[in-house]
Structure 1
Amino acid sequence: MFEKFSDHARRVVVFSQEAARDLHHDYIGAEHMLLAVLDLCEREPTLGAAEALAQLGIEPKAARARIALQPGPDNLNVSGYIPFTKQARKVLENSLREAQALDDAHIGPSHLLLALTSAAAADPETPIGTAITALALSHENLRAALRAGTAARAAALVTPQFAPQAIKALAVAKVHAQQSGSSTVDLGHLLLGLLALDDDVVRPALDAVEVDRDRLADEVLGRLPRRE
C-alpha cells in the first residue's frame, strides 16, 4: 500500500514518527498522524488538504495548539522503529479507500485526513476523536471542501476557446500571410486581421485614441516582408 503514497503522504508518516517521539510516546497513533497532517499543511499551504482546511476556517498552527495530548514519561527513550497502533493502521488502510472513492491514483494528505475523520467518528472517546471534535471537523464537511477545491482547480485549468470574431481575425491574418508569400502568420498579419473586423472592442478603442485604421493598415502592409 505504501507504494501508492505520494511524497507528501510519506512526509506525513515521517512527521507522525517525530510527533510521537516529541511526546515521548513509544507508538504512533491516529492523533500523531493528525498532528503530522496539520504540520505539513502549515508548511505547504497550497496543498489540497490545507486549502480545504482554510475553507473550513481551520488554521493548521492554531489547530495543532488546540490538540491536547498527554506526554509520556521524560525518561522514556524512544528510538528506532515506532509501531503504529491498530487504529492508526486502520487509518492507513482506509486512506486507500478514500483515494479510490475520489478517483485519485495516489494517497495524499487529503485522503489521510479523511480517514482520520472517519476514525474519530467511529471512536469519539479516543484521542483522535477528541482532537477532531475540538477542531469541529467532520468527514462530510471535509469531503465537501475537498471536492469544491478540486472543482475550482479544474475550472482554472480549462483552456479558453477562441471566440468567433477571434477566429475570423486569424483567418484574415492567414490570408494576408499567404498574399505576402509568407510561410508563417506574423504579428503584422494578426494586426491586419484585427483591423479588418468591425467589433465592439478594438475599433472603439482605436477610435478613442484617434488612430486612423486605414493608415495603420497601410503602414503595416508596407513593413511586411514580401517574397519576390
Structure 2
Amino acid sequence: MFERFTKEARNSVVQAQAEARALAHRTIGPEHVLLGLLDGGGPAAHALRDHGVWPVALRTAVARRAGTGPLDAEALRTLGIDLDAVREAAEETFGEGALDAPAGRFRKGHIPFTRDSKKALELSLRHAVRLKHDRIADGHILLGLLHDEGFASAQILTDMGVDLDGLRGDITRMLDADAA
C-alpha cells in the first residue's frame, strides 16, 4: 500500500513515528499521524491550519490526552503546590529547563502502529479509491483519520472545536482540485 503514497503522505507517516517518540509514547496512534500531517506542507496541513489547528496546540492536546502533557499549575495550586516555586528550585539545582525534558524521555527502536492508526491508513486507501485517485495523498490520510469519530485524532479535533464535516468537505475539495 505504501508504494501508492505520495512523498508528502510517506513523510507524514515517518513524522508520526518521530512525534510518538518525542512524546515518549509506546505506540503510534491516529493522533500521532495527525501531528505528522500537520508538520507537512501539503493540503492536509493547510486544511488543518485553515480550521485553526496549529502544531503547538495539537501537540499539547495529544500529550494531555495521554497524560504526558505539561503540568497544570492551577490544579497543583489546589493541592498547595506552587509550580513556579518548584520550577525555580529545580532550575537552580539542575539548570534551566530541568522540568521540560526528563532524562531518557526519547524512546529508541521501532514503535508499532496501533490498530486504529493502521485502520485509518487503510481507510485512506478507500477514500482515494472512492474519489477515483490513483495515489494516496496526505489529504486521503486526513480523511482516514476523520472517518471514525472514535479515533483519537477525530476526538482531539472535536475537543479543539474543529467542525469535522467542514474539514472533510474542505480536504475533499482540495484533493479533487489537485487531481484535476
Structure-2-length-normalised TM-score: 0.67
One-letter identity of the residue aligned with 2:136: I
Match of residue 129, structure 2, among 73, 92, 100 = 100
Deviates more, 1:61-70 or 1:128-137: 61-70
* TM-aligned CA deviation for residue 60 of structure 1: 2.9
Q: Secondary structure at the match of 1:67?
A: helix
| 1:133 matches 2:158 | yes
The residue aligned with 2:174 is: 149
Structure 2: how far apart are the matches of 1:153 and 1:107? Answer: 12
Q: Unpaired runs of 5+ in structure 2?
A: 70-101
Structure 2: how far apart are the matches of 1:30 and 1:101? Answer: 21
Structure 2: how far apart are the matches of 1:129 and 1:152? Answer: 24
Contact preservation (8 Å) 2:27, 2:113: yes
Structure 1: how far apart are the matches of 2:46 and 2:176? Answer: 13
Matched ranges for 1:20-35 at <5 A: 20-35=20-35
One-letter identity of the residue aligned with 1:127: A
- What is the root-mean-square deviation in Å for CA atoms of aligned residues? 2.8
| 1:52 matches 2:77 | no
One-letter identity of the residue aligned with 1:7: K
Structure-1-length-normalised TM-score: 0.55
Contact preservation (8 Å) 1:118, 1:139: no
Structure 1: how far apart are the matches of 2:28 and 2:17? Answer: 6
| 1:17 matches 2:17 | yes
Count of residues paired in the alignment: 145
* TM-aligned CA deviation for residue 76 of structure 1: 6.0
Larger radius of gyration: 1
Contact preservation (8 Å) 2:16, 2:36: yes
The residue aligned with 1:111 is: 140
Structure 2: how far apart are the matches of 1:20 and 1:82? Answer: 8
Structure 1: how far apart are the matches of 2:27 and 2:59? Answer: 21
